[in-house]
Amino acid sequence: MITGKTVLDRKKSLAALVADHLASLGHKASIVEGRTNSQGHTDRVLVNSSIGLIHVTASVNKEPDGSIPTSDYDDGNQAFLADKDFVAYGWNTKDNRTMLMFVSMTAVIGKMSLSKSQIKRASIREYSIVLPSTAGLTSLSRSTLSVRP
């Protein structure tokens, strides 16, 4: 489950889930903080992995088809996405499952926001998962994960 009272706490929580999930699939993954990208944006937290560099976006919205921003609200800037290969979207559901959806950058660039159904449709099946409500923050094993429907 994604936890945390602040945006940064939730991003760190999601990054840990993403890194653990990728490790359970046999990929290398580590959490990176304070990395400056080629557009001059400093990422607070992201995941560097053997599948690529992953921006993490944790939403507190539990609505089934709520919208999640993919750009700056004021000017639509997406400089924070520079150099990334994927965005990992994460949110907790009303029944306390946790959705982890990995989306290619091509599905995100140029959009102000995406609905959860758009994210699910654009997600990459081999990486995207639904964590049951009993899943912890670390040491996830494949046996505790269910493949996304």
Question: Contact, 52 vs 82, CB < 8 A?
Answer: no
Query: Per-10-residue mean pLDDT for the chain, 149 residues long?
Result: 94 97 97 95 95 95 86 78 95 94 93 93 96 61 41
d(C-alpha 88, C-alpha 81), whole Å: 12
The DSSP-derived string for 26-53 is T--EEEE-SEE-TTSPEESSEEEETTEE
* Residue 134 confidence (pLDDT): 67
* Residue 142 confidence (pLDDT): 38
d(C-alpha 54, C-alpha 41), whole Å: 15
Give pTM, 2 decimals.
0.85
* Residue 129 confidence (pLDDT): 96
Distances (CA, A) of 64 to 13, 61, 77, 120: 21, 8, 26, 11
Structure tokens at 7: 């945006």
Domains with residue ranges and CATH for the chain: 7-147 (3.40.1350)
Question: Contact, 147 vs 129, CB < 8 A?
Answer: yes
* Residue 73 confidence (pLDDT): 65
